[in-house]
Amino acid sequence: NFMNFHIFTPRQMIFSDQKKMDTYLDTQKTIGTISEEFSRTLGENLNLTKVRAPIYLEDVSLSDTLDGKQRLIEIDFKGGKKGYILHSLAKWKRYILYKYNFCDHTGILTDMMAIRRDEDIDKLHSYFVDQWDWEMAIKKEDRTIDFLKKTVNKIYDAFLTVDKKLYEKHKINRKL
């Protein structure tokens, strides 16, 4: 049941009490397994195409200030052009679905790397953000609890697939 599970961050899945990673390279390989397997499975389950996210945009209107407190990071280029470092893909993802006329029940999957200079730093937050993200085009009539539950179950299935793959490749036994 999708309502009774705990989402583990990649770090929690790797550094469990059941198996400690011995080296930096082992950790990087395991993170790679998580990233590749989750992206592949989620993409298949939700009919998403993996795309590259931009690091910066020239169009400031596609930047999202998240909580209204994030300040844009402006950069300038030769010839007087300006750009803005992204710290959220929310508006950009929706723009891409619209611009390229994605069909209903299709979408994009991306890995954003960003800088959030106004982030409150703690054990879970950093100025540097590496965030997996996705967006799907849906019909207005799909905005139902039933459709949401079906979608969440497909996402949960991707977590279960990653869990199984972690055990197969790295002998990490963390049952969701």
Sorting pLDDT into bands at 50, 70 and 90, what band is 132?
confident
Among the listed ranges 39-53, 62-76, 157-171, which one has the minimum average pLDDT value? 62-76
CATH number at residue 160: 3.30.930.10
Whether residue 85 contacts residue 103, with contact meaning beta carbons closer than 8 Å, is answered with: no
128 in a domain, yes or no?
yes
144 in a domain, yes or no?
yes
145 in a domain, yes or no?
yes
| pLDDT of 119 over the 80 cut | yes
Alpha carbon distance 110, 56 (integer Å): 15
Among the listed ranges 12-21, 99-108, 110-119, 131-140, which one has the minimum average pLDDT value? 12-21
74 in a domain, yes or no?
yes
Taking residue 117's Cβ as centre, other Cβ atoms within 10 Å add up to 11
Q: So what's the pLDDT on residue 3?
A: 43
Lateral strand order in the sheet of 107-115:
48-50, 107-115, 128-136
2 in a domain, yes or no?
no
131 in a domain, yes or no?
yes
175 Cβ neighbours under 8 A, 6+ residues apart:
163
Phi, then psi, of 162 in degrees rounded to 5: -65, -45
Q: State whether the Cα torsion 126-127-132-135 is positive or negative.
A: positive
175 in a domain, yes or no?
no
pLDDT in tens, 139-166: 999 999 999 999 999 999 999 998 888 8
Q: So what's the pLDDT on residue 5?
A: 43
Look up the pTM and report it.
0.76
35 in a domain, yes or no?
yes
How many distinct structural domains can be found in the chain?
Answer: 1
Q: Which helix (H) or strand (E) holds 168?
A: helix 145-170
Residue 44 is part of which domain span?
10-170
